[in-house]
Amino acid sequence: MASLSYLFVNRARFPFGSTEFFRAWAKRFFAFNELFKRNTRRAKLIKLGAEIHETAEIGEVTVDGHKENLSIGAFSFLGKVYIALFTDVEIGERVCINDGVQILTASHNVADPKWRHIKKPVVIEDYAWISTGAIILPGVTIGRGAVVGAGAVVSKSVAPGEIVVGNPARPTSKKRCEHLDYNPCEFLAANRAWLKG
């Protein structure tokens, strides 16, 4: 939802001169700097070849490698995230990736005398939530609606709706509900200033 044009078109409207009108525009004014930074980050990555939906929120992301290997769907949020793009990283729609997360797409073959690179793509499906400080290793798919707990190290794919924690990440007995209908970008203050006032 960070696109300025999207927010302007979909802004909450209040009668001119009302308390709500002035309150909403004051919030928008003070949140504009953060909104501008996220828009600038998205635009820079797109210019370098990434495919990022106009409603995706891009925080202080560090992306190493070929930017054209990155795809981010609608209404997804990335905080202070590190992504190593030796090969493809595909992030679906309405995904939340918190601060400190690392997404890695390559490693070394320890059984190879020449210690060659092994590159494998990472897929994070719709509604997945990757919590603070988690590490996603090469070749992993995080299923739709799955949750990766804070600090977890994920070396194997996670089934849809599954909740994994620990190092190495292991499933818990809990599961997420099957019907998910939320937008992680709605919770950001800069967006709420426009959409809710």
Domain harbouring 99, CATH code: 2.160.10.10
In one-letter notation, the amino acid at residue 18 is S
How far apart are alpha carbons 28 and 25 in whole angstroms? 5
Task: Give the domain range for residue 175.
Answer: 4-195
- Which tokens in the block code for residue 174? 């809990």
> Per DSSP, what are the bridge partners of residue 85?
65
Q: What is the pLDDT of residue 1?
A: 52
* pLDDT one digit per residue (tens) for the chain, 197 residues: 567 778 888 888 999 889 899 888 898 888 888 888 888 888 899 999 999 998 898 989 999 999 999 999 999 999 999 999 999 999 999 999 999 999 999 998 888 899 888 999 999 999 999 999 999 999 999 999 999 999 999 999 999 999 999 999 999 998 888 889 888 887 777 777 888 87
Q: What is the pLDDT of residue 27?
A: 87
CB burial class (10 A; 0-12, 13-18, 19+) of residue 17?
exposed
Active site residues: 108
Q: What is the pLDDT of residue 42?
A: 87
Count: domains in the chain? 1
CA 135 to chain centre: 14
pTM of the model: 0.88
- Tokens 């939320």 found at: 182
Contacts of 99 (CB under 8 A, 6+ apart): 59, 79, 80, 81, 132, 133
